[in-house]
């Protein structure tokens, strides 16, 4: 993807804005700093994600009552990602989501990678949160192999996030999925806790009942890339895990189990031997070798060409081929999540395709995220056929794979309008509703009327949230962030924006991960009065309805 820095200017002039006037203060302040600039809360456009867009409107109204002038701007996913991910010092507020993925069954990715300061420059910590206290806890839980001790460290980490409120967590959505049970046998579609039926086991195991042997799914988001070294969003991740294999995969029971690896064995706490499955082939006919495995794990660990995957390999001291099918990993220290967050996360990447690309990038300002193969080559159960941007991606069955799918083709169609996807399900234009952000009652009514639509609902591993840019005042102030968070009525979020189909969130560890989730973070609720008091105690003042910095502090940034 080409990084268009000029896009920022265009974004500032585009989109629809909803401004809310701040309520006047009862008593003007005697002394105060500058008024806080006008702010823009960036969200997904309403047609693609009506729930998050409505939540953004409600949040802007709540923050207006604190004396902030907040407008909501809805943007297509690609534009939102371009602005927030690649222009990390240019925005103030955004709605965001972390989606459920199998490897997120272990909380490490959603704790360490999302908030550790080392990932702030180019990784998942795009908000720029920095806390040495949190860093130490996040690092400690990674190397603690005693499960109960690790659980306690993760509870402490969640407590720090509760105190600092780097994000304003909103909900763990209860995702609704549906499929045509006249096309696929119901007992062949697999529900995976925290993911629902949108998972690789459904894609491999779904058994066609008749002549229709294509699984046709939907996505409200277009793809940014089909790239084994870069995943920019949910749709990218669905496609990537089907084209490229991993040494391990997360089973429907949430356990890391052998996949491209025939077996693995811990030799000691920092040494693991892996045996590569025999006879694997890349989609271009070349054999998958142990050299490919070594390359796949070394590339993110050397240089800065693969920033997204660096956190998942940084604890690897060395990767060595010890035989024709054996590889030894030596770790710098014990790692409690290595199987899940590394061996089940890193895509096996063909050295003969990517080595020259990486070598070329080493002398250029771009990294691997900017490279797109004309014909993506993996070794996975599906082969790439075509990609029409903003329209569809078509994959076909890899009959030579060690676990070939029952379907012939996996087709995902990009449909940004949520209501349209329901009509397409009824008409048969899609037969697997994999991305639905609408009212679950509407979907239930459709299923009742049609009679051949099966619905499955599941609380997500992922979460929806609003967040702020810690690089830009006043959001570097924990008092401001706590006030913003407490001003949000999360019960209203659940009822009005998510139609009751969600659970209140205040942690990156979902209630779907019940063992790791800290119940101590569940008590947060909307309290405008408490939020106003926090700001007052921190020196902020409301004058003529506008919130001002504490006395002596100047506004140094411009509004939208």
pLDDT tens readout for residues 39-56: 999 999 888 788 999 999
- What is the rounded CA–CA span in Å between residue 93 and residue 75? 13
CATH number for the domain formed by residue range(s) 179-245+373-455: 3.40.190.10
C-alpha to C-alpha distances, 329 to 145, 293, 324, 341, 499, nearest whole angstrom: 17, 11, 15, 14, 47
The DSSP output letter for 278 is T
Cβ pair 350, 292 in contact under 8 A = yes
Residue at token pair 């008590």: 523
Look at residue 362 in the predicted model and tell me its pLDDT. Answer: 84
557 pLDDT tier (thresholds 50, 70, 90): very high
pTM of the model: 0.75
- What is the rounded CA–CA span in Å between residue 315 and residue 330? 9
Average pLDDT, integer, range 73-77: 91
Cis bond leading into 474, ω under 30°?
yes
Cβ pair 119, 125 in contact under 8 A = yes
Q: Is the pLDDT of residue 20 over 70?
A: no
pLDDT tens readout for residues 384-403: 999 998 899 999 999 999 99
Q: Is the pLDDT of residue 262 over 70?
A: yes
- What is the rounded CA–CA span in Å between residue 64 and residue 71? 9
Whole-number percent of the chain with pLDDT over 70: 94
User: Domain 7-172+461-548 falls in which CATH fold?
Assistant: Dipeptide-binding Protein; domain 3 (3.10.105)
pLDDT tens readout for residues 395-452: 999 999 999 999 999 999 999 888 899 999 999 999 999 998 778 888 889 888 888 9
| Tokens read off for 94 | 């955004």
Average pLDDT, integer, range 480-502: 94
Q: Is the pLDDT of residue 29 over 60?
A: no
Calculate the average pLDDT of the chain.
Answer: 90
Per-domain boundaries in the chain = 7-172+461-548, 179-245+373-455, 248-358
Strands, E assignment, 88-243: 93-98, 167-180, 214-219
- What is the rounded CA–CA span in Å between residue 11 and residue 146? 48
Burial status of residue 1 (CB atoms within 10 A of its CB: 0-12, 13-18, 19 or more): middle
Average pLDDT, integer, range 366-382: 92
Examine domains 179-245+373-455 and 248-358 and report if their fold is the same: no
DSSP-assigned beta bridge partners for residue 96: 465
DSSP codes of every residue in 340-391: IIIITTSPP--HHHHHHHHHHHTTSS--GGG---SS----SSEEEEEEETTT
Helix pair angle (351-361, 290-298), 10° resolution: 30
14 pLDDT tier (thresholds 50, 70, 90): very low
Whole-number percent of the chain with pLDDT over 90: 69
Class of the CATH-defined domain 248-358: alpha beta
Look at residue 147 in the predicted model and tell me its pLDDT. Answer: 87
């Amino acid at each position: 993807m080409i990084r268009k820095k000029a896009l920022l200017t265009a974004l500032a002039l585009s989109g629809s804005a909803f401004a809310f006037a701040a309520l006047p203060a009862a008593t003007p302040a005697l002394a105060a700093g500058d008024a806080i600039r006008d702010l823009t809360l960036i969200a997904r456009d309403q047609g693609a994600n009506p729930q998050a867009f409505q939540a953004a409107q409600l949040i802007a109204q709540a923050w207006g009552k604190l004396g902030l002038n907040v407008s909501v701007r809805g943007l297509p996913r690609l534009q939102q990602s371009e602005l927030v991910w690649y222009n990390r010092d240019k925005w103030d507020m955004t709605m965001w989501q972390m989606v459920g993925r199998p490897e997120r069954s272990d909380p490490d990715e959603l704790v360490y990678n999302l908030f550790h300061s080392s990932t702030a420059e180019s990784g998942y910590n795009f908000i720029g949160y920095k806390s040495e206290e949190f860093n130490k806890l996040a690092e400690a839980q990674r190397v603690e192999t005693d499960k109960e001790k690790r659980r306690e460290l993760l509870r402490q980490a969640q407590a720090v996030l509760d105190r600092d409120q780097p994000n304003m967590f909103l909900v763990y959505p209860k995702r609704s999925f549906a499929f045509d049970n006249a096309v696929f046998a119901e007992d062949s579609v697999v529900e995976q806790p925290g993911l629902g039926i949108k998972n690789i086991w459904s894609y491999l195991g779904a058994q066609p009942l008749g002549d229709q042997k294509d699984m046709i799914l939907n996505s409200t988001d277009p793809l940014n890339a089909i790239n084994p070294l870069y995943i920019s969003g949910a749709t990218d991740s669905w496609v990537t895990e089907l084209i490229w294999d991993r040494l391990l995969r997360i089973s429907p029971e949430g356990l890391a189990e052998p996949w491209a690896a025939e077996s693995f064995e811990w030799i000691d706490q920092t040494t693991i031997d892996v045996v590569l499955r025999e006879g694997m082939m890349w989609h271009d006919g070349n054999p998958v070798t142990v050299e490919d495995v070594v390359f796949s794990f070394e590339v993110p660990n050397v240089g800065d060409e693969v920033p997204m995957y660096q956190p998942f390999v940084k604890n690897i001291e060395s990767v060595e081929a010890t035989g024709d099918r054996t590889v030894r990993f030596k770790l710098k220290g014990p790692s409690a999540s290595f199987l899940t967050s590394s061996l089940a996360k890193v895509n096996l990447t063909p050295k003969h395709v990517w080595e020259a690309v990486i070598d070329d990038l080493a002398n250029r300002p771009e990294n691997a995220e900017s490279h797109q193969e004309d014909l993506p080559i993996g070794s996975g159960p599906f082969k790439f056929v075509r990609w029409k941007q903003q329209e569809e991606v078509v994959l076909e069955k890899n009959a030579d794979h060690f676990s070939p799918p029952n379907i012939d083709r996996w087709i995902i169609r990009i449909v940004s309008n949520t209501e349209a996807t329901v009509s397409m399900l009824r008409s048969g234009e899609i037969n697997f509703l994999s991305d639905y952000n609408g009212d679950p009652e509407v979907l239930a009514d459709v299923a009742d009327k049609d009679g051949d639509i099966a619905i499955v609902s599941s609380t997500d591993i992922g979460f929806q949230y609003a967040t702020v840019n810690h690089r830009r005042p006043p959001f570097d102030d924990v008092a401001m962030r706590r006030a913003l968070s407490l001003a949000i009525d999360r019960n209203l979020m659940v009822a009005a924006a998510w139609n009751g189909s969600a659970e209140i969130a205040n942690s990156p560890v979902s209630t779907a991960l019940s063992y790791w989730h800290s119940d101590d973070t569940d008590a947060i609720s909307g309290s405008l009065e408490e939020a106003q008091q926090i700001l007052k105690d921190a020196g902020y003042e409301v004058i003529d309805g506008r919130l001002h910095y504490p006395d002596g502090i100047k506004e140094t940034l411009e509004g939208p």
